[in-house]
Amino acid sequence: MRPEEFLVLVAPLGVAIAGFSGLVSAFHPQRAWSSAEFVRLQSLVIASLAVTFFALVPVVVLFATADQAEVWRIGSAAQLLYLAQIRIRRLRALHRAGQSWQALAPWYVDVLFYPLLVIDLLNVVLWGTFVPYAAGVVFQLWISSAFFYGFVLDLRKRASAEGRAPDTAQVPPTG
């Protein structure tokens, strides 16, 4: 599979997960969002749109240039900068909300996050290949999926705490 084909296949997944944020807000209880919940929702939307962005931009650039190594180097540098700044911004937002980083991202995210930064840096400096870049896109897809799944688990926990089965959530009657 060529890099362009892979990226074009991944881009709609990011859009789909971004669309799931609408479901998250629709199934959210009528009470106001806490600061931590709002940071999580922002993270879901931003991470899924980042997947789409990082999947489609190289496809467009590859039509304009024949130097694929340069495209993957620049793309990896952009991913590196994005991942670093988003980590800092989410940490600051969580700190303002009075939450720790673990409220947003469990330990296993860091197990993959820091090696990915090193791989992106090596791709910028040495390799200039597609596979490390694709690993970054897949990591972001995994993160956005995990954010959505976290909201699903919260709904299940809330339903269990209220003493009802999660699949019998109150659905408003129609017509």
- What is the reported pTM? 0.85
If you write DSSP's letter for every residue of 25-50 in order, what string do you get?
A: HHHS-SSPPPHHHHHHHHHHHHHHHH
The answer to whether 75 and 67 are in contact (CB under 8 A) is: no
pLDDT of 165: 62
pLDDT of 166: 56
pLDDT of 76: 97
For a pLDDT cut of 90, what percent of the chain falls above it? 49
User: How many angstroms separate the CA atoms of 147 and 21, rounded?
Assistant: 9
pLDDT value at 167 more than 70: no
Task: Kindly state the average pLDDT of the residues 88-116.
Answer: 85
- Give 31-74 pLDDT, tens digit per residue: 778 888 888 888 889 999 999 999 999 999 998 888 999 999 99
| Nearest C-alpha neighbor of 76 from the set 130, 33, 39 | 130
Task: Kindly state the average pLDDT of the residues 74-85.
Answer: 96
pLDDT value at 164 more than 80: no
The answer to whether 44 and 144 are in contact (CB under 8 A) is: yes
If you write DSSP's letter for every residue of 69-110 in order, what string do you get?
A: HHHHHHHHHHHHHHHHHHHHHHHHHHHHTT--GGGTS-HHHH
Domain boundaries, the chain: 3-27+34-164
User: How many CA atoms are closer than 13 Å to the CA of 51, on its beta-carbon side?
Assistant: 27
pLDDT value at 140 more than 90: yes
**Which range among 4-18, 105-119, 148-162 has the greatest average pLDDT?**
4-18
pLDDT of 30: 66
pLDDT of 57: 95
